[in-house]
Amino acid sequence: MDKLFKFKGRADKLEFVKTLGILYLIAFVVKYINYDVLNAGNNVLLISIYVLLAVSSTAAFFRRLHDIGLPGYISFTSWILLTLIIPSDYLGGIVCSVFWGYIAFFVYLIIRDSQPYSNKYGESLKVLDKQDIVHSEIKNRQMINKIILSMLGLKTIIMILYALWCKFCKPLGVPVLDIRNIPLYIIGSISFILIFIDFTRRQILTIIGAVLMIISIITSIIYFNCFAGFDFLKYLSIGQLIWRMFGDCHSIVVGVMIIFIVSRINNKKEVGAKFFVIMFFIPTIWGICYDLLCGKSTLFLGGSAYYTFLHCSLNEIFITYLSKFMRALSCMAIYNRMKIFNLSDEKKELS
């Protein structure tokens, strides 16, 4: 309890999970058990409780980030949800991308071990010598990549169960997934699959996945803009057609960036975490810049960020089947492998 509002220091993953579990349980009790009592003329009390819970959870995130050597202010990313009160449909879509990237990072915080040495935020709970530190770090990061790979398998299992539910229960008001289409979704995710299962030193499968991503996007862009037979396309000039195709090129940039990052890793050059964050947000940044260049700045005004966020999140779950979440995990997998390779080289030097 003495650490509920403590922002300094470190918290290992067990303390982090226990603290958040208690705070979320309190939030659940406040919302559903005593909702009528608190909400009946006691809005100030209700808001005060939620503010205290939000501050306490942010403090837990601060200490957990410190424990793995990262600045605590990263936790303020989650507060972007407060912008959902702004009347802007476009903002809701941006927040959705940030949200799913943050969910992937939250998974990382749960499974990442403490840095087994002292850092500028405090002493480590583990006391290891140099060689044991390297071995411990390698072991934990290998486990992280295995968990990331297992999430891909879990996603496929959930898709199959959802398709069976759609087939036998015939639900109304939700997107229906035909079980016969699941192999097509798996083929469409082949780039992510190759990245997740790549345990080679030169990351050959990751490069192949990036190349396939580029080829598939170029093929689909050309097909849908030149051969799909949409009537409105015949009224576009060559320049307009090229500009329209340019708007869908963000995945090509992602593929090229993956190849660039992997080539640097293969040349034993460190790649900062910020490059992986940029790689995740390229589709979002690309879409914003493209719409602004098209003179669609009015898209940022009007509507509801909250309802657009809900719509985009449901689309992420039921239509694209966690594509943003998987893209974030793929960035995490490549970054984690880079750390494993660097630590393995360090281990050889110590031997």
* pLDDT tens, residue by residue, 27-86: 888 777 655 555 555 566 777 777 888 889 999 999 999 999 899 999 888 888 888 888
Residue 20 and residue 60 in contact, taking contact as beta carbons nearer than 8 Å? yes
Identify how many contiguous H helices and E strands the chain contains and give both numbers.
Answer: 13, 0
Helix (H) or strand (E) holding 47: helix 43-67
Higher pLDDT pick, 279 / 300: 279
Q: What tokens were used for 134?
A: 């390297």
Highest averaged pLDDT of the listed ranges 152-156, 293-297, 332-336: 332-336
Measure the CA–CA gap between 344 and 346, rounded to whole angstroms: 5
Task: Rank 40-49, 187-196, 290-299 by mean pLDDT and report only the highest.
Answer: 187-196
Q: Are 26 and 70 in contact (CB under 8 A)?
A: no
42: its two tokens: 């006691």
> Which of 22-31, 41-50, 261-270 is least confident?
41-50
The pTM of the whole model exceeds 0.75: yes
In the predicted structure, residue 174 carries a pLDDT above the cut 70: no
Residue 137 near residue 181, CB atoms below 8 Å = no
Averaged pLDDT of the chain: 85
- Angle, helix 273-293 to helix 250-266, in steps of 10 degrees: 160
Residue 114: CA count within 13 A, CB half-sphere: 23
> What confidence category does residue 5 fall into, taking pLDDT thresholds of 50, 70 and 90?
confident
256-281: average pLDDT:
92
Q: Single out the residue of 330, 329, 321, 324 nearest to residue 182, CA to CA.
A: 321
Res 156 pLDDT > 80: yes
Tell me the sheet residues that pair with 141. Answer: none
**60, 40, 38: which is closest to 48 by C-alpha?**
38
Residue 161: exposure state from Cβ atoms within 10 A (0-12, 13-18, ≥19): exposed
- Those residues whose C-beta lies under 8 Å from the C-beta of residue 212, and which sit 6 or more positions away, are 190, 191, 194
Domain boundaries, the chain: 1-67, 86-350
